Amino acid sequence: MPTAQTAIIPDHCRAAIWIEADIQDYDKIADACKQSLDVLASWQQRFTDKALGLSIGFGKRAWEVLGTHEAAELKDFPGYGRGEIRAPATQHDLLIYIQSYEHDLNFSLALAVLQAFGESISVQQETHGFRRYEDRGLDDFVDGTENPQGDDISAVAIDEHGGSYVLLQRYRHDLNKWQACSLAEQEEAVARCKASNEEFAKADRHPCSHIARTNLREDGVKLEIVRRSLPYGAASGEHGLAFMAYCARLHNIEAQLQHMFGDTEDGLTDLLLTRLSKALSGGYYYAPSVEDLQSLAV
């Protein structure tokens, strides 16, 4: 069985770094990936209890050049929604994702990985995420409760090749707007109690609540994803949620986005997108197995 990359399965990490880049020199990427895995292994041996992990993902164009097998569902992020409720596309070639219990370790690994890639890539966006107390987002609601746990994580996230489809989006929160909403309006938007994190009964959920838009079933089967999102940003500047999801099927992630952004027959949109947050970026990637990452085509 192929091995999933090390920053997919572990949950409850305290800090993360996302780096999105475009590829300038395809001939150097395979070597850079191998070097990155070597550096990761040496840092993991030195800091055994920090859950340090790395996953490298490829956009469609890059995977078509470098990939060892077809990733049939992979596509460029098309963008969703319209007008004010829009998920813009900012697709790049490469996603480097690092997570662990310590920001300083992540930062050190990021420096080493970027050194391995050198000028073969040009970095377009770097985001640093941090876990808040009680797993709360900057909106003060607990985030991640319904994430798959235990063996279900790989069952949901990992495909038959040991790889995973990835969505990365940055959501900028307008906390003034959110705080101007009453507690009842905030809880209506999420469909959970803020303090206790208790879920609203199905009958009490607003059809545009976040849970109503993302808890989806097809033919009676729940469309699950594995979320690895964290708050990010500067207190005095842009801040919000770095939303990342892994899944063995891109379809599950896309269906949820379509339901949030009104690209469905009912045209309903997620209340979080009018009361709290605006999507600023979006890219789809494929994070292959460790074995496939070690034997890229070029």
> 143, 159, 263, 292: which one is catalytic?
143
Query: Residue number with the shortest CB distance to ligand HEM?
Result: 146
Residue 19 binds ligand HEM (CB under 6 A): no
Rounded CA-CA distance 191/205 in Å is 6
- By CB atoms closer than 10 A (0-12, 13-18, 19+), residue 268 is middle
Residue 269 binds ligand HEM (CB under 6 A): no
Nearer to ligand HEM, 143 or 188 (CB): 143
Q: Which of 279, 221, 285, 228 is nearest to 255 (CA)?
A: 221
Binding mask 112-131 for ligand HEM (x = CB under 6 A): --------------------
Residue 243 binds ligand HEM (CB under 6 A): yes
Residue 143 binds ligand HEM (CB under 6 A): yes
Torsion sign (Cα): 281, 286, 291, 292: negative
Residue 88 binds ligand HEM (CB under 6 A): no
Residue 257 binds ligand HEM (CB under 6 A): yes
For the CB of residue 214, give the shortest distance to ligand HEM in the complex, in Å. 4
Rounded CA-CA distance 60/18 in Å is 18
Nearer to ligand HEM, 30 or 211 (CB): 211
Close Cβ partners of 211 (under 8 Å, ≥ 6 residues apart) = 190, 191, 192, 199, 200, 205
Residue 250 binds ligand HEM (CB under 6 A): no
How is 47-115 classified by DSSP, letter by letter? STTS--EEEEEE-HHHHHHH-SS--TT------EEETTEEE-----SEEEEEEES-HHHHHHHHHHHHH
For the CB of residue 143, give the shortest distance to ligand HEM in the complex, in Å. 4
Residue 247 binds ligand HEM (CB under 6 A): no
Query: Which strand (E) or helix (H) includes residue 247?
Result: strand 239-247
Rounded CA-CA distance 172/184 in Å is 22
Residue 215 binds ligand HEM (CB under 6 A): yes
Residue 2 binds ligand HEM (CB under 6 A): no
Phi, psi of 166, deg, nearest 5: -130, 140
Rounded CA-CA distance 108/46 in Å is 13
For the CB of residue 49, give the shortest distance to ligand HEM in the complex, in Å. 26
Which residues in 49-78 contact ligand HEM (CB under 6 A)?
A: none
**Strands 277-279, 217-218: pairing kind:** unpaired
Residue 179 binds ligand HEM (CB under 6 A): no
Nearer to ligand HEM, 39 or 138 (CB): 138
Residue 144 binds ligand HEM (CB under 6 A): yes
Residue 165 binds ligand HEM (CB under 6 A): no
Give catalytic status of residue 143 as yes or no: yes
Contact status, residue 243 vs residue 270, Cβ threshold 8 Å: no
Residue from 77, 141, 285, 286 touching ligand HEM (CB under 6 A): that is: 141
For the CB of residue 215, give the shortest distance to ligand HEM in the complex, in Å. 4
Instruction: At 271, list the tokens.
Output: 């209340």
The b-or-e profile of 18-31 (16+ CB within 10 A means b, else e) is bbbbebeeeebbbe
Q: Which residues bind ligand HEM (CB under 6 A)?
A: 137, 139, 141-146, 171, 190, 192, 210-211, 214-215, 225, 241, 243, 245, 253, 256-257, 260, 272, 277
Catalytically active residues are 143
